[in-house]
Amino acid sequence: MHTWNPGDRVAHATFGTGAVIEQSHDYVIVHFDSYGRKKMALRYAVLTASDGAARAPEQRRAGSSSERPTDVGYENLNEQVMQRRIGAAWTSAADAVYVLKCKRCDAEYGVRAADILLRRCPGCMDASAGLPIEP
């Protein structure tokens, strides 16, 4: 049985390309680019590794090391780009806040590290408001 890691790019015959969110011993959750989040039984899910060719070209620019969600410049599945990590009196080091910027409307807002991968824009995508990025 193939083991997928969070963030792995995969392809599915029906749903197309997507990114693995998590896998347990009997199911895998994938966020498909066109269909959104799907939870599938592993024994029936036929997934193949995708090299990410379906991604926007700017995410594959030469020399870019922005492959981890917490890296500056990382762009998630919803065109939200990691800007910077902020540490301030109102954020403890253990609860670092990361600033995302929307490529569509330029909105900037704070999120936790775990939310970067799938965050949607509170400005133009009807998502919940972000964390404050200024005191």
- Which residues of the chain form contacts with Zn ion (CB under 5 A)? 102, 104-105, 107, 121, 123-124
CB of 116 to Zn ion, least distance (A): 15
- Tally the C-alpha atoms within 13 A of residue 106's C-alpha that lie toward its C-beta: 0
Using the minimum distance from each CB to Zn ion, give the nearer residue, 8 or 79.
79
Compute the residue count for the chain: 135
Cβ atoms of 80 and 89 within 8 Å: the answer is no
With a CB cutoff of 8 Å and minimum separation 6, the contacts of 28 are 4, 20, 22, 39, 40, 42, 45, 47
Using the minimum distance from each CB to Zn ion, give the nearer residue, 85 or 103.
103
Residue 21 structure tokens: 């969110």
Using the minimum distance from each CB to Zn ion, give the nearer residue, 2 or 104.
104
Using the minimum distance from each CB to Zn ion, give the nearer residue, 114 or 124.
124
CB of 80 to Zn ion, least distance (A): 8
CB of 84 to Zn ion, least distance (A): 18
Q: Which helix (H) or strand (E) holds 56?
A: none
CB of 120 to Zn ion, least distance (A): 8
